[in-house]
Amino acid sequence: MRVKIFKNEQVAGHAYKMTLAAPVIAKFAQPGQFVMVKCADGIQPLLRRPLGVHNVKGSEVEILYEIIGEGTKLLSQKKSGQALDIIGPLGTGFKFPKGSDPCGKNILIAGGMGVAPLLFLAKKINKSQVLVLIGAKTKQEILCKKEFKKLGCNVKVVTDDGSAGHKGFVTDLLQDRGHLFKGVPAMLYACGPKPMLKAVSEFSKRRKIPAQISLEEHMACGIGACLGCIVNTKSGQKRVCKEGPVFDAREIIWE
C-alpha cells in the first residue's frame, strides 16, 4: 500500500526516523513486527527492505533505520509529503504481559539499531517496571534513551569505548544484575547483532530465565514465500519473516 511520509529526519549521526501516516498498519502492528519498504519506485533496488515498527502514535507509524546500503540511502533522501510503498505489519512479534496479566520483571536489551522494535514494546508492556539496557559503539550512537525514560523505564547504557555508561558489552550489565532475577518471574527481550543475541541466549539458558530474541536477516519477500531467511531451530527450519523475527531463545540452534 502507498502511505504518506510525514517526517523523515536524522536523529543521530547514523540514524534516521521516518514517520508515516499509516492508519491500517498503526491499528494492527504488534511490537516486534516489521514492514517491507520499497525504497525507490521501479526495479533498482529491486527488493523491499525489512524495517521494524519502532513506534505507533495514533494513526502514525515510526520506523528507525540507519544507512547500510543503496536502499536505505535512498530512503534517507525521501521528503515529507512524498508517498512510500510499504507492506505490513508482517511477522510474529514479542509475547508480553498485557492488561491484567501478571507482569514480573521485563528486561529489554538493545544493541545498536536493535532499539528500533523495543521502544514500541516498552510502550505496550503493561505498567510493570521495565529495565532497558542499551548498548552502542559510542555515546553518539546511543539511541532512544530519552524516549524510554519518558515511558518510565529504568535505562542503563553501555558503550564499546566507554564514552557513555559502562565500558563493555550490554550483556555485562545482565551478569551484574543477577539479583534482579531472584524471586520474581522475569523475561528478557533482546534485539541487536547476532553475537549479542547469542550471549543473551546463553545467559538465559544458564540462569533459566526465558528470553525472546528478534533476529535480523536479509529477506527477499518478507511474507514467507521465498525461503531465503531460514533459521535452524529445535523444531526444524523456520522462516525469520514469518515464524519470526522474534523467537524463544531456547529454540535457536546457533552455528
Where are the alpha helices (H) located in the chain, listed in sequence order?
23-28, 70-76, 115-124, 145-150, 170-176, 194-207
Binding mask 98-117 for another protein (x = CB under 8 A): --------------------
220 counts as binding another protein under rule CB under 8 A: yes
228 counts as binding another protein under rule CB under 8 A: yes
184 counts as binding another protein under rule CB under 8 A: no
225 counts as binding another protein under rule CB under 8 A: yes
- Between CA 64 and CA 148 the distance in angstroms is 14
237 counts as binding another protein under rule CB under 8 A: yes
227 counts as binding another protein under rule CB under 8 A: yes
- Per 3-state DSSP, the chain is made up of helix, strand and coil in percentages (nearest 5) of 25, 35, 40
Phi and psi, residue 219, nearest 5°: -130, 145
- In the complex, least distance from residue 238 CB atom to another protein, rounded to whole angstroms: 12
Query: Would you say the C-alpha torsion 254, 37, 35, 187 has a positive or negative sign?
Result: positive
73 counts as binding another protein under rule CB under 8 A: no
Close Cβ partners of 215 (under 8 Å, ≥ 6 residues apart): 194, 197, 231, 240, 244, 245, 246, 247, 252
74 counts as binding another protein under rule CB under 8 A: no
Strands 154-159 vs 166-167: parallel, antiparallel or unpaired: parallel
83 counts as binding another protein under rule CB under 8 A: no
Q: Please identify, among the stretches 17-25, 36-44, 74-82, 93-101, the one whose residues bind another protein according to the rule CB under 8 A.
A: 36-44
Q: Please identify, among the stretches 27-35, 41-49, 108-116, 145-153, the one whose residues bind another protein according to the rule CB under 8 A.
A: 41-49
- In the complex, least distance from residue 2 CB atom to another protein, rounded to whole angstroms: 12
Task: Report how many residues bind another protein under the rule CB under 8 A.
Answer: 24
Specify the DSSP element, H or E, that contains 125.
none
- Between CA 144 and CA 157 the distance in angstroms is 11
Q: Are 89 and 33 in contact (CB under 8 A)?
A: yes
242 counts as binding another protein under rule CB under 8 A: yes
Of 6, 210, 224, 251, the residue at the interface with another protein (CB under 8 A) is 224
40 counts as binding another protein under rule CB under 8 A: no
Q: Please identify, among the stretches 46-54, 57-65, 117-125, 141-149, the one whose residues bind another protein according to the rule CB under 8 A.
A: 46-54
Nearer to another protein, 21 or 223 (CB): 223
* Eight-class DSSP state of 181: G
Of 7, 146, 218, 254, the residue at the interface with another protein (CB under 8 A) is 218
Residue with cell 510499504: 86
Amino acid at 217: E
Which residues would be at the binding site for another protein (CB under 8 A)?
38, 43-48, 87, 217-221, 223-231, 237, 242
